Amino acid sequence: MGESGTSAPAPARPAPARPAPEVPPALRVALDGYLAHLTVERGLSANTLAAYRRDLARYVEHLACAGRVGIGDVTEGDVEDFLTAVRTGSDGRAVLSASSAARAVVAVRGWHRFAVLEGQAPDDPARAVRPPQQPQRLPKAISTHDVERLLGAASLGDGPVPLRDRALLELLYSTGARISEAVGLDVDDLDLTPGRAAVRLFGKGSKERVVPVGAYAVEAVEAYLVRARPALAAAGRGGSAVFLNTRGARLSRQSAWAVLRTAAERAGLPGAAHVSPHTLRHSFATHLLAGGADVRVVQELLGHASVTTTQIYTRVTPDTLREVYVTSHPRARRDQARERAGERAGERPGQRAEGPDGAAATGAGRG
């Protein structure tokens, strides 16, 4: 209850689930054609494509419920109603966050734009529909001290698994790789030559980039490849994957996530339950920029298509803001204020400062 006696509004809950409608064949054909376009011509990553597929499957069911038969029958109101549905759950499905709803709107707008270009629809009803505003949040990074604690916790224990886990986390932090990029690595993607070690990463849309690898990560990866990977590979058919699970198959994204979560809990990191593989990517970028790296260089290392995506890391963090304030403001700390007061007290009342020649300076003009 608030001070006025009224309770805060309850969060939106999805409406009761309703049976999935029969999607008209024309809508289904149009959607399949667009998804094929995304796969073949746009070269979207598997994860992005799967998300678009889910969003657009929900969208065509929404259109079917509205009585639309073809993509050319859709109105701007249909698109706006869909955005309302994903944000409130009024269609009986899960309520999407602002970021997930924005992704769904982007998928819908892309489909309608494609339909117009292909002559499947006379106009674009989604053109004026804007994604929901997303709160601007600083990426969550951890300190260099906490990174060291995390990496140390990953290597606790005996056998090949701790060596693998340490190598995985060292590589994530050293390169800023996405978790999907790290688990997708093949042995041929590594060049551990001293002095010029690098890794070839395949990012979103299969875009390739080469990123340097630091000395600590090189040491950890070499230890894993020599002392641990052969034992893991013997449990299965081996293959070319760098990181293997205990069955000898490629390590999955979910398993890699579990590796990080377990290490964070062992290290006793604050908010360990919220530490994710992207936390190391954010820390990589934040620490580089704090060390003086140019934002354009960090953009290339992260594989961002636009520098505006990277520039969020240049925003002043609360810790930096407080540090600058405390060291710069004359009355930020009591000890600073006392020191200045002592300096002033050292001058007796009426004491005159001496001039350059040692004579007492006065405020009077020369006679």
Which residues have a catalytic role annotated?
178, 204, 278, 281, 304, 313
Give CA–CA dist 27/25, Å, rounded: 5
How many C-beta neighbours within 10 Å does residue 128 have?
Answer: 10
* Neighbouring-strand partners of residue 201: 209
Burial 94-117 (b: 16+ CB within 10 A, else e): ebbeeebbbbbbebbbbbbebbbe
Give CA–CA dist 145/150, Å, rounded: 9
How many residues would you count in the chain?
A: 367
Give CA–CA dist 168/228, Å, rounded: 12
Amino acid (one-letter) located at 73: D
Give CA–CA dist 247/237, Å, rounded: 9
Give CA–CA dist 85/82, Å, rounded: 5
